[in-house]
């Protein structure tokens, strides 16, 4: 079994990272939001204002939060606006929006200049080379499009199910374009058409070479900041990768329910875990960040 991750309060990098950071890159589902994508609820789904109050406190302190999610650009535009935030990173790092009203920046990883035909989007190119067809054939009944969240996408496909990643990737490696499948964590869809699948995961099909960490690095460079100026928080294996671009990566406690997340985090020395799950864990991090920032701003 992987070595347990250190709690946020005990991590040796906690004080330095929280005191210096001015930007937080945050996942949404399973991290900031409770089940059912609810903000005004605790980890058990009961009505709760804690996460909303933490968001207000961060906004008042002038600290920057950037949503970094698998959701599409239009969803994140509305979420960010409602929370008082301006920029966001959509579709697992493939779509970066620097600010409200600004044009998106697309990231297609290792794809060459001739990968797209005419005006097609990366999403359309992934469809054209047959990625969905090959997965449906190899894993009949255990993977499907994650309706309705599969709509209105520009760069990636979002699926749900439970498949062995290595075998799925091997199937995708037969395509004419390099497409990677990534596990975006455990989800709880109210309905689905899967057969004999108890633990449902969200998966993304993305251009090979794209990672959330790459998008964060690009965004920090645009801001004139370095990795030690930033934090990240999430609950999935793709969120663990964000730690590679920031001073401290934090997982909310429910992330430990997924062995793949724990295994991914075990080799990284700058990853900590909260005691709280979902929004309660997010609030735990926000409170610690505010306390640390206040300690260096107050005169001694």
pLDDT band at 3 (very low <50, low <70, confident <90, very high): low
| Separation of alpha carbons 291 and 101, rounded Å | 33
The DSSP letter of residue 44 is T
Nearest to 292 by CA among 2, 16, 5: 16
pLDDT band at 74 (very low <50, low <70, confident <90, very high): very high
- pLDDT value, residue 1: 43
The residue length of the chain stands at 300
| Separation of alpha carbons 81 and 171, rounded Å | 39
Segment 6-41, tens digit of pLDDT: 999 999 999 999 999 999 999 999 999 999 999 999
Where are the chain's structural domains?
22-107+211-279, 122-207
Nearest to 154 by CA among 77, 240, 220: 77
Contacts of residue 41, defined as CB under 8 A and 6 or more positions apart, other chains included, come to 34, 35, 47, 48, 279
Asked whether 81 and 93 are in contact (CB, 8 A), the reply is no
- For all residues of the chain together, what is the average pLDDT? 95
| Separation of alpha carbons 281 and 285, rounded Å | 6
Segment 258-282, tens digit of pLDDT: 988 999 998 899 999 999 999 999 9
Asked whether 72 and 90 are in contact (CB, 8 A), the reply is yes
* Domain 22-107+211-279 part of CATH 3.20.20.150: no
Mean pLDDT of 195-219: 95
CA–CA–CA angle 150, 127, 148 (5° rounding): 10
Would you say residue 300 has pLDDT above 80? no
Higher-confidence position of 237 and 285: 285
- pLDDT value, residue 145: 97
Would you say residue 299 has pLDDT above 80? no
**Angstrom distances, CA of residue 171 to CA of 137, 147, 181:** 10, 23, 10
Would you say residue 213 has pLDDT above 90? yes
Rounded to the nearest angstrom, the gap between the alpha carbon of residue 196 and the centroid of all alpha carbons in its chain is: 27
């Amino acid at each position: 079994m992987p070595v347990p991750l250190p709690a946020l309060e005990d991590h040796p990098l906690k004080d330095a990272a929280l005191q210096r950071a001015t930007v937080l890159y945050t996942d949404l589902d399973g991290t900031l939001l409770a089940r059912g994508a609810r903000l005004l609820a605790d980890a058990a789904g009961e009505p709760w204002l804690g996460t909303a109050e933490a968001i207000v406190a961060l906004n008042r302190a002038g600290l920057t939060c950037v949503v970094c999610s698998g959701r599409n650009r239009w969803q994140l535009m509305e979420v960010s606006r409602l929370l008082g935030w301006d920029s966001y990173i959509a579709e697992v790092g493939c779509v970066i929006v620097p600010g409200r009203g600004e044009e998106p920046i697309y990231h297609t990883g290792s794809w060459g200049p001739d990968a797209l035909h005419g005006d097609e989007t990366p999403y359309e190119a992934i469809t054209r080379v047959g990625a969905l067809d090959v997965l449906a054939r190899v894993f009949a009944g255990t993977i499907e499009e994650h309706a309705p969240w599969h709509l209105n996408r520009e760069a990636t496909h979002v699926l749900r199910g439970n498949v062995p990643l290595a075998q799925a990737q091997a199937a995708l490696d037969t395509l004419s374009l390099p497409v990677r499948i990534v596990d975006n964590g455990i989800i709880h869809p109210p309905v689905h058409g899967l057969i004999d699948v108890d633990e449902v995961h969200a998966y993304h099909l993305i251009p090979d070479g794209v990672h959330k960490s790459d998008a964060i690095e690009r965004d920090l460079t645009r801001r004139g900041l370095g990795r030690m100026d930033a934090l990240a928080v999430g609950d999935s294996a793709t969120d663990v990768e964000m730690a590679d671009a920031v001073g401290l990566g934090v997982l909310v406690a429910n992330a430990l329910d997924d062995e793949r997340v724990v295994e991914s985090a075990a080799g990284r020395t700058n990853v900590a875990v909260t005691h709280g799950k979902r929004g309660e864990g997010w609030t735990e991090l926000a409170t610690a960040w505010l306390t640390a920032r206040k300690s260096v701003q107050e005169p001694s």
